[in-house]
Amino acid sequence: MKIDGQITISAPQGWGDDYIEIRIHDEKAVIRFCEIHVKYADFAKLLTGLPFVKCDIEVEGLEKVGKVMEWQTFEFRMPDNSTNKEAAKKEINRIMFPGWTCSDNFSSQYSFFRVDAEQWWARATIRRWVDGNDIP
């Protein structure tokens, strides 16, 4: 599989003074699917062409690699007419479309709103990953 990718090499704070972090990102899926931590001394070995240098590798989201992320705003009526984050999380998980996931932190100033003077609604961003050929 060939993808449009991006790579970042950095020395993040918090990992200590002796690590380089390498992140690999799928541009169309909009995900980081590989993160590598390698000590400075070992990174120098890589730069000189030494093969099979030891490092820590974390891989996640491989089922999304090579796909395209679709997203949209999803608005729904709050069943208890409140701005309760936990109630909003429970409701969106109950009514979510199959194959979609949502960002359910409801911490934005735009997460809750009134359609009329009486009823509270909630707003979230929903996402799914589809094959590039499936997009109309």
Q: Copy the structure tokens of residue 28.
A: 């169309």
Q: What is the pLDDT of residues 1-46, one digit of tens each?
A: 888 999 999 987 765 668 899 999 999 999 999 999 999 999 999 9
User: What are the CB-based long-range contacts (under 8 Å, 24+) for 34-37?
Assistant: 34/58, 34/59
CA–CA gap between residue 33 and residue 62 (Å, rounded): 6
C-alpha of 18 from chain center: 27
Q: What is the pLDDT of residues 77-116, one digit of tens each?
A: 998 888 889 999 999 989 998 999 998 789 888 899 998 7
